[in-house]
Amino acid sequence: MTKRGSREEAEVTSTPALTRRSMLSAILGAASAGIAGAASGETQPSALDGPSVPPDPTRVPGTGPSAFGERSSFARLSRRAAFGVISGTPLQDLHGTITPADLHFERHHAGIPTIDPANHALMIHGLVDRPLRFEIADLLRFPAVTRTCFIECSGNLRTDAGPETTPQELCGLTSQSEWTGVALSTLLREAGLSPSARWLLAEGSDAAIMARSIPIEKALDDAFVAYAQNGEPLRPGQGYPIRLVLPGFEGNTHVKWLRRIEVADRPFMTREETSKYTEPLRGGRARAFSFTMDARSIITTPTYPAQLERGWHEIRGLAWSGRGRIVRVEVSVDGGARWQEARLIGPALPTAHTRFGLPWKWTGSGAELSSRAIDETGYVQPTRRALIDVRGPGALPYHLNPITSWLVESDGRVLYKSEGWS
Ligand SMILES: Nc1nc2c(c(=O)[nH]1)N[C@H]1C(S)=C(S)[C@@H](COP(=O)(O)O)O[C@H]1N2
Ligand SMILES: [Mo]
């Protein structure tokens, strides 16, 4: 992996409320499965916590209701953390399109800050008629907006992945939530934009003081300040108490722990939009402010580490586009020689993960499964070769959305078709 944040860039914050038991299962979980969800305090039940299973569940009273629901200890789901600054969503273990909040991928440039919402506010200043300061309670009083959309890190492709790579490890830096908050246009109207306003700076209150320039058109279109995720307050890892959501834009612009918006007549040229989050092109040039996430898809089952049985299966996966709706997903089982139209399962919302499926009978011979997404602008997900031709083998793999394939071996093993990036 060339870009996954470097160690010196950030530190993992430890979760304040680790109990002895959760600490123990965190350590056991991390040690036994190589799973480091422990770093964020998201622990899985360990063998020690396992329930005693009665031979016949109808013969014994069940357990009672509780303050918090927990996942079945048979349903083992976890994020995989790396370098202390990133963790991926286990795409291969999920269904539908909503990512459970505790499995939303995480990318923190300087850890998760602990913020008391009572002491947090959002400032709007710069080229405005009235500089304003909003408490969280103020934000909750404005008309709410709710939108289901993905957030995807533009570094979401592991270019050095070998055959034994899961979808989570390959491209688990995309997740989807139903976000609720207040439209940024509403807040900007309160402050009154000056006619020369063209760009905003959005700044977070983490130790990285991460900041990005946002074009005014996006700010006035569908940008919003979210305070809730899947019906509950944002998780600390997702920006509690507030984050910016810019549907379809690269993950980095969705500034978490948002504290300040400054309005200006030009971009601010912050570190994250100059030395980072730009894409090298052929001929020694680079593109910058490449906000929109291009259409992409990935098969989530069957993929590594599945062991396939002969007979009928449904090839399933996710497709999404930062430019709008997914209109079509095509699947090939013969390495791209022929493509079949998959069924879209559930609604195809704009800038949202869309589930697709295609029933397929595996007869026991080798197969190569691939998917390609087409969005409402007619954009077709490119091949790896086409992307390399345009970008060159540049050092920073941002905005790479190649068609991805999985090889089914005659013994039923499923492996990522690893081709490198050159
Ligand atoms: N303040 C702040 N905002 C941030 C970041 C950060 O480190 N600090 N990381 C950014 C990056 S690179 C991404 S991809 C997304 C990740 O959001 P998530 O952790 O909720 O998945 O948040 C963005 N917003
Ligand atoms: Mo990112």
Give the domain range for residue 346: 296-416
Position 116 in a domain: yes
For residue 45, what pLDDT is reported? Answer: 45
Residue 311 has pLDDT above 80, yes or no: yes
Residue 23 has pLDDT above 50, yes or no: no
CATH number for the domain spanning 336: value is 2.60.40.650
Position 404 in a domain: yes
Ligand 1 close to Cβ of residue 398 (< 6 A): no
Report the separation in Å between the CA atom of 321 and the middle of ligand 1, taken as the mean of its atom positions: 19
Q: Are residues 214 and 157 in the same domain?
A: yes
Q: Are residues 209 and 102 in the same domain?
A: yes
Q: What is the mean pLDDT of residues 130-150?
A: 98
Residue 2 has pLDDT above 60, yes or no: no
Ligand 1 close to Cβ of residue 106 (< 6 A): yes
Which of ligand 1's atoms lies nearest the C-alpha of 251? 14
Residue 7 has pLDDT above 80, yes or no: no
List, for residues 214-265, the tens digit of each pLDDT value. Answer: 999 999 999 999 999 999 999 999 999 999 999 999 999 999 999 999 999 9
CATH number for the domain spanning 265: value is 3.90.420.10
List, for residues 182-205, the tens digit of each pLDDT value. Answer: 999 999 999 999 999 999 999 999
- State in Å, rounded, how far the first CA of the chain is from the last one: 14
Which residue's CA is minimally distant from atom 10 of ligand 1?
252
Q: Are residues 251 and 107 in the same domain?
A: yes
Ligand 1 close to Cβ of residue 151 (< 6 A): yes
330, two tokens: 């095509």
Residue 416 has pLDDT above 80, yes or no: yes
What's the pLDDT band for 16 if we cut at 50, 70, 90? Answer: very low
Position 17 in a domain: no
Classify each residue of 203-235 as buried b or exposed e, where b means 16 or more C-beta atoms within 10 Å of its C-beta: bbbbbbebbbbbbbebbbebbbbbbbbbeebbb
Q: What are phi and psi of 218, to 5 degrees?
A: -70, -40
Which pTM value belongs to this model?
Answer: 0.88
| Amino acid identity at 357 | G
Q: Are residues 330 and 250 in the same domain?
A: no
Domain end, chosen from 268, 287, 306, is at 287
Position 229 in a domain: yes
For residue 83, what pLDDT is reported? Answer: 77
Ligand 1 close to Cβ of residue 228 (< 6 A): no
Residue 297 and residue 358 in contact, taking contact as beta carbons nearer than 8 Å:
no
For residue 272, what pLDDT is reported? Answer: 84
Q: Are residues 245 and 334 in the same domain?
A: no
Position 63 in a domain: no
Position 260 in a domain: yes
Q: Are residues 270 and 351 in the same domain?
A: no
Which residue's CA is minimally distant from atom 16 of ligand 1?
107
Q: What single string gives the DSSP state of each residue in 260-300? A: EEEEESS----GGGTTSS-EE-TTS-EE----BPPPEEEEE
12, 13, 153: residue to mutate for ligand 1 pocket, most atoms within 8 A of CB: 153
Q: Are residues 322 and 282 in the same domain?
A: no
Position 66 in a domain: no
CA–CA dist 256, 237 (Å, integer)? 8
Q: Return the ligand number nearest the Cα of 236.
A: 1
Ligand 1 close to Cβ of residue 134 (< 6 A): no
Report the separation in Å between the CA atom of 253 and the middle of ligand 2, taken as the mean of its atom positions: 8
Domain end, chosen from 287, 315, 343, is at 287
How many domains is the chain built from? 2
Report the separation in Å between the CA atom of 156 and the middle of ligand 2, taken as the mean of its atom positions: 8
Report the separation in Å between the CA atom of 155 and the middle of ligand 2, taken as the mean of its atom positions: 6
Q: Are residues 282 and 358 in the same domain?
A: no
Report the separation in Å between the CA atom of 99 and the middle of ligand 1, taken as the mean of its atom positions: 16
190 C-beta neighbours (distance < 10 Å), count:
15
Residue 271 and residue 277 in contact, taking contact as beta carbons nearer than 8 Å:
no
CA–CA dist 238, 114 (Å, integer)? 12
Q: Are residues 222 and 157 in the same domain?
A: yes
Position 23 in a domain: no
Ligand 1 close to Cβ of residue 212 (< 6 A): no
Q: What is the mean pLDDT of residues 314-337?
A: 98
Q: Are residues 136 and 270 in the same domain?
A: yes
For residue 15, what pLDDT is reported? Answer: 32
Ligand 1 close to Cβ of residue 107 (< 6 A): yes
Domain end, chosen from 287, 304, 329, is at 287
Average pLDDT, the chain: 88
Q: Are residues 354 and 259 in the same domain?
A: no
Q: Are residues 230 and 113 in the same domain?
A: yes
Which of ligand 1's atoms lies nearest the C-alpha of 153? 14
What's the pLDDT band for 394 if we cut at 50, 70, 90? Answer: low
What's the pLDDT band for 395 if we cut at 50, 70, 90? Answer: low
